[in-house]
């Protein structure tokens, strides 16, 4: 029982997680640079000083949020690894990733992270790594379905379309969202040589 977590350590971990979640809410509502450290502390219901016991500075908090995106990506890539027909897998991937990117909270955070990536190498690194993991998971399927295209370029264009469309309709009505999703699936899968 070497790795038994003590009461102290457990609450510290939970507190840390709680701070990250509170920060994410603030960032979604106000943006990175319009959110003050006091805002985050207030939302997490802890003192200002205590926040600095858990995070070195505000930048570290932003980086942690940006890295969090990676976790949600893993579940999306899972649909690509099964034994189902490739076309079916791609279709499910489009649905899953479109659903994720068209969620307002995700769209807002993604826009915030993208803008931040443009100036901060630390954030950009995480952003690129996340995207590459999607590309890598997508390539084998794309290779089968679009034998005439260069697989990586093709996979990236597919991602561009899904993410672009998702973010664009994040605030649209459910009806338009659904129509866009269906058109998106058609647009991508229509070019597949054969099932």
Partner DNA sequence: TATTTGAGTGAACGTTCGTTCATTGATATA
Partner DNA sequence: TATATCAATGAACGAACGTTCACTCAAATA
Report residue 151 as tokens.
Answer: 């697989």
152: number of Cβ within 10 Å: 15
**Using the rule CB under 8 A, which residue among 24, 112, 126, 142 binds a second copy?**
112
Residue 190 interacts with, from a second copy, DNA, none (CB under 5-8 Å by kind): a second copy
Candidates 4-12, 42-50, 80-88, 185-193; binding stretch for a second copy (CB under 8 A): 185-193
- Which residue, among 70, 69, 159, has the nearest Cα to 107 in the 3D structure? 69
Q: Any idea which residue has 């379905």 for tokens?
A: 145
- Which residue, among 63, 77, 68, 54, has the nearest Cα to 105 in the 3D structure? 68
Minimum distance between the CB of residue 140 and a second copy, rounded to whole angstroms? 18
Compare residues 34 and 136 and give the one whose CB is closer to DNA. 34
Minimum distance between the CB of residue 85 and a second copy, rounded to whole angstroms? 21
Rg of the chain taking only CA atoms, in angstroms: 20
> Which residues of the chain form contacts with DNA (CB under 7 A)?
6-9, 11-12, 15, 35-39, 46-50, 52-54, 57-59
Minimum distance between the CB of residue 10 and DNA, rounded to whole angstroms? 7
Residue 118 interacts with, from a second copy, DNA, none (CB under 5-8 Å by kind): a second copy
- Which residue, among 16, 131, 144, 8, has the nearest Cα to 84 in the 3D structure? 144
**Using the rule CB under 8 A, which residue among 9, 85, 157, 178 binds a second copy?**
157
174: number of Cβ within 10 Å: 8
């Amino acid at each position: 029982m070497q790795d038994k977590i003590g009461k102290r350590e457990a609450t510290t971990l939970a507190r840390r997680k709680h701070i990250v979640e509170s920060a994410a809410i603030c960032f979604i509502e106000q943006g990175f640079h319009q959110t003050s450290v006091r805002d985050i502390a207030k939302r997490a219901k802890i003192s200002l000083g205590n926040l600095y016991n858990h995070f070195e500075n505000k930048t570290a908090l932003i980086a942690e949020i940006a890295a969090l995106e990676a976790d949600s990506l893993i579940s999306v890539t899972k649909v690509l690894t099964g034994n189902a027909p490739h076309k079916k897998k791609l279709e499910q991937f489009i649905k899953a990733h479109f659903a994720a990117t068209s969620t307002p909270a995700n769209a807002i955070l993604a826009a915030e992270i993208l803008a931040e990536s443009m100036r901060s190498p630390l954030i950009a690194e995480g952003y690129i790594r996340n995207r590459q993991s999607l590309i890598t998971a997508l390539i084998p399927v794309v290779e089968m379905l679009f034998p005439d295209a260069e697989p990586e370029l093709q996979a990236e264009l597919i991602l561009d379309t899904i993410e672009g469309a998702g973010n664009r309709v994040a605030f649209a009505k459910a009806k338009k969202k659904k129509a866009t999703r269906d058109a998106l699936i058609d647009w991508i899968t229509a070019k597949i040589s054969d099932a």
